[in-house]
Structure 1
Amino acid sequence: MTDADRKVTPKKSMTVVQASFIGVGAMVGAGIFALLGAAGAVAGSAVWLSFLIAGLIAGLQGYSFAKLGATYPSAGGMLAYLAKGFGEGHVTGIVSWLFYMTGAIIAAMVATSFGGYASSVVAGNDPGWAVVLAIVLVLVMTLLNIVGSNAVARVQSLIVKVVLAILTVFAVVTIANWNPALLDPAGYPGVREIISSVALTFFAFLGFGVITFTGKDLRDPRRQLPRAIYLALAIATAIYVAVSLGVFGTLTADQVVEYGATALAEAAKPTLGETGYVLMVITALFSTAGAVNASLYPATGMTRHLAEVGQFPGVFAHRIGGRAGVGLVVMAVLTIVMITVLDLNSIASLGSAVALLIFSAVTVSHFRTYRETGASLIVLIIALVATLGTFVVFALTTLVAEPKTAIALVVTLAAAILCDLVWKRVRSRGKTDAETP
């Protein structure tokens, strides 16, 4: 190890709570604002039950990740787990490129949401200002990640504490003043509709996977990583269920669908008035900022690991100026380009679809190592069936109704395959040239 490497190697000082808050920040982003209306259109006032079921399914996947993380803690996170089952071949390479690209897409989508909320406060919903503010957020969070994982953990903890505090106040106030008749099970739709809505609400839990990349920053990842995953999922599930009970106990399902992203603010008005609206705007700003921070966090450690094992070009193992990881800088640039060029609203479900496929791939790879991790094969099978089932339901509903998202999914998959094939060929030629006398 060189002197430069010693200077940038972070101390392993992240706590279980800080690691879990990175996951909570990735989960409780803009999703809770957008999901209530969409889920309410399918499950009516039974959305709280949909969130509870989705949380249980996420818990199954979390069990798999926790077992893998305790056995193979690595800066490569879930991608390192994938390699344990499939090796460092094309499957792992394609999924790695897919995860990296999707990370930039998700960061761009959430940053755009932040820009929209922020511009409504400072610039009267001016589209130009929305783009500028979104880019500023990406730059600020990139600088924060360059400073180091300790800074990321501290800022993320602050952001999540603010978001959780406001949402807790919202839930307590609305539940204390709710109308129980609005949540009467007699008014719930059929089981089929509730199950269908789980495909929507499950997406609110997908961010927990980012916790797997905290292994490099935990003092004892074998013990702490599983705790961080379970704690994050428990917090997210409790918040989602409480918020949905508060909203649907205050507004009718039709009103929630009509208000859409502003349903939380409208539900707060009867007891908190305009203060409720302001609180929800603050929550949206903090939650989207935290989600961007969490999306960028894995980039440096993940790409460095992938470069070291040959899945990514060696340049990704380098640091610019001895501080900024190349993988982080490239992801930030990709994110900014997407913010300025793409119509992100038209492919809003892309990240969710890809995440479900990646989770499924990691679980399939776990089948090959479950004896080493000590995981229950039955639980892994249930987790895979639940995750793939969610994707199938999503494909038959959301993707069919959103052709642009379906096209974007195919393009993203093709780009990941192309990147892997091109890089592996370039790497192979380099080895051949080096061996030729």
Structure 2
Amino acid sequence: MSAPPGTKRMTVLQATFIGVGSMVGAGIFALLGAAGAVAGSAVWLSFLIAGIIAALQGYSFAKLGAQYPSGGGILTFLSRGFGEGHLTGIGSWLFFSAGSIVVAMIASSFGSYASSVVADGDPFWAKVLAVALVLVMTGLNAVGPTAVARVQSVIVIVVLGILVVFAAVTIATWNPALLAPSGYPAVQEIVASVALTFFAFLGFGVITFTAKDLPNPARQLPRAIYLAIAIATTIYVAVSLGVFGTLTADQVVEYGSTALAEAAKPVLGQAGYVLMVITALFSTTGAVNAGLYPSIGMTAHLASVGQFPPVFGRSVGRFPVGLLVMAALAITLVVGFDVNKIASIGSAVALLVFSAVTVAHFRLFRITGASIVVLVIALITTLGTFIVFCTTTLAEEPTSAIALVGIIALSIIIDFVWKASARRSRA
């Protein structure tokens, strides 16, 4: 399925950068300390394993995307496998809700970093700046996919450039003894940490929504998915080697989100701190941009097949309703809630939807030509990550667990109520 001549709006590299920008967001800053508390200096191995799991899931998405390219992305894959029933509808509402939460969380991270620079970390200004970022990126997405892709490319190039420099200077001066396998924790601890590091890869699912903007998605979408995962894995492994080769695991845990800046100080001094703040601002901006991008094609597709109300397929001026609704939900969360307390819900929901897509693929693998063995391994590893996450992170975050149950219940209610209403209207 190729786009008609003259309609090309996105290249493979631009689609790749949409995914990389969604993955290499603020997560790399927050994850190192949390993962280090579990896996110690073996965090680089945790990222490598997580990257392999992401590649397995990416294989499934690539095969499905080549066969069923659509602006509906992974939600199209659900409907192809399960039909346009309640399961697909509930999964769609869940994914849309999770997207809003992730955008709000990343925007809040941007607000925190930006306010630390311009307002001494004032919480009020942190929220103001977070809302401003959502509004600006909403405007950019309304302009069209070409503008989104171009801006995203610039942002990702800047972020990757800084992280490559960071990794190079820290690895060049590291202390190999800090990374000695003799200091690694037990294998089960390293495996458990994968439940944390895998979340840094969840953004690759966003690439499936670029199919509508690629001139030849059957060939280009798989390339973009594989390339994005390869880039993200390389960056994560290199950064974690540089950090844990410079600081002890205890220091990384203590410094938390500033661990990268502290690791850069021995070589770059105070400039290292400034460099990491710039990286955080760019990466969060790119992640919000990429997080809002799927809302347009996704909701238009879901409205066209009856999963969402028809209004989601319309626009207010140049602004698609789906984009406006996601932005409004994200802003509401930023202003009214402590998003960090429920941030992990987005990851948990994404894992559930990813697993459901793989189950749907079992019904389609003869059509897509996918290996059933690879699909089974992908499902086991993804569900396993979700289970480990529930028994570790969610078990210690009752607020997130309650919110997750609430969002699932609300998605079920909305789907059943909307479809019952639609049936009555047709009667």
Letter in 2 for 1:423: W
Alignment of 1:401-412 (within 5 A): 401-412=396-407
Letter in 2 for 1:332: A
Q: Among residues 183, 202, 206, which one is paired with 2:202 in the alignment?
A: 206
The answer on whether the counterparts of 2:101 and 2:343 sit within 8 Å (CA) in structure 1 is no
Match of 1:152 in 2: 148
Letter in 1 for 2:376: I
CA distance in 1, matches of 2:171, 2:271: 17
Q: Among residues 330, 337, 354, which one is paired with 1:342 in the alignment?
A: 337
CA distance in 2, matches of 1:21, 1:247: 24
CA distance in 2, matches of 1:141, 1:12: 22
CA distance in 2, matches of 1:336, 1:408: 18
CA displacement at 1:63 relative to structure 2: 0.1
CA displacement at 1:343 relative to structure 2: 1.4
Match of 2:180 in 1: 184
Q: Among residues 171, 177, 185, which one is paired with 1:175 in the alignment?
A: 171
Match of 2:89 in 1: 93
CA distance in 1, matches of 2:404, 2:270: 40
The answer on whether the counterparts of 1:123 and 1:129 sit within 8 Å (CA) in structure 2 is yes
Match of 2:376 in 1: 381
SS in 2 for 1:166: helix
CA displacement at 1:404 relative to structure 2: 0.6
CA displacement at 1:430 relative to structure 2: 0.4
CA displacement at 1:12 relative to structure 2: 2.7
Match of 1:19 in 2: 15
* Residue deviations 1:324-350 (CA, integer Å, cap 9, x gap): 111001111111111111111211211
CA distance in 2, matches of 1:184, 1:316: 54
Q: Among residues 232, 244, 249, which one is paired with 1:248 in the alignment?
A: 244
Are residues 1:122 and 2:118 paired? yes
Match of 1:5 in 2: none
Alignment of 1:31-46 (within 5 A): 31-46=27-42
SS in 1 for 2:393: helix
Under a length normalisation based on structure 1, what TM-score does the superposition of the two structures give? 0.96
Are residues 1:229 and 2:225 paired? yes
User: Which runs of structure 1 show a deviation greater than 4 angstroms over 4 or more consecutive aligned residues?
Assistant: none
Alignment of 1:235-314 (within 5 A): 235-314=231-310
CA distance in 2, matches of 1:12, 1:397: 45
Letter in 2 for 1:24: V
The percentage of aligned residue pairs carrying the same residue is 73
* Residue deviations 1:278-318 (CA, integer Å, cap 9, x gap): 00000000000111001100111110010000000001111
Are residues 1:215 and 2:208 paired? no
CA distance in 1, matches of 2:343, 2:92: 21
CA distance in 2, matches of 1:245, 1:256: 12
CA distance in 2, matches of 1:345, 1:360: 25
Letter in 1 for 2:124: G
CA distance in 2, matches of 1:345, 1:16: 33
* Residue deviations 1:12-58 (CA, integer Å, cap 9, x gap): 32000100100000000110000000000010000000000000000
Match of 1:353 in 2: 348
Q: Among residues 400, 425, 430, which one is paired with 2:425 in the alignment?
A: 430
CA displacement at 1:319 relative to structure 2: 1.1
CA displacement at 1:11 relative to structure 2: 3.2
The answer on whether the counterparts of 1:69 and 1:221 sit within 8 Å (CA) in structure 2 is yes
* Residue deviations 1:398-436 (CA, integer Å, cap 9, x gap): 01011111011001101111110110011000011xxxx
Match of 2:395 in 1: 400
* Residue deviations 1:247-290 (CA, integer Å, cap 9, x gap): 00000000000000000000000000000000000000000011
* Residue deviations 1:109-137 (CA, integer Å, cap 9, x gap): 00000000000000010010000000000
Match of 1:79 in 2: 75
Under a length normalisation based on structure 2, what TM-score does the superposition of the two structures give? 0.98
CA displacement at 1:240 relative to structure 2: 0.1
Letter in 2 for 1:407: I
Unaligned runs of 5+ in 2: 1-5
CA distance in 1, matches of 2:78, 2:152: 27
CA distance in 2, matches of 1:339, 1:81: 31
The answer on whether the counterparts of 1:318 and 1:325 sit within 8 Å (CA) in structure 2 is yes
The answer on whether the counterparts of 1:12 and 1:216 sit within 8 Å (CA) in structure 2 is no
The answer on whether the counterparts of 1:349 and 1:405 sit within 8 Å (CA) in structure 2 is yes
Report the count of equivalent residues: 422
Match of 1:48 in 2: 44
Q: Among residues 385, 389, 394, which one is paired with 1:390 in the alignment?
A: 385
Q: Among residues 125, 136, 139, which one is paired with 1:140 in the alignment?
A: 136
CA RMSD of aligned residues (A): 0.7
Letter in 1 for 2:330: T
Letter in 2 for 1:411: G
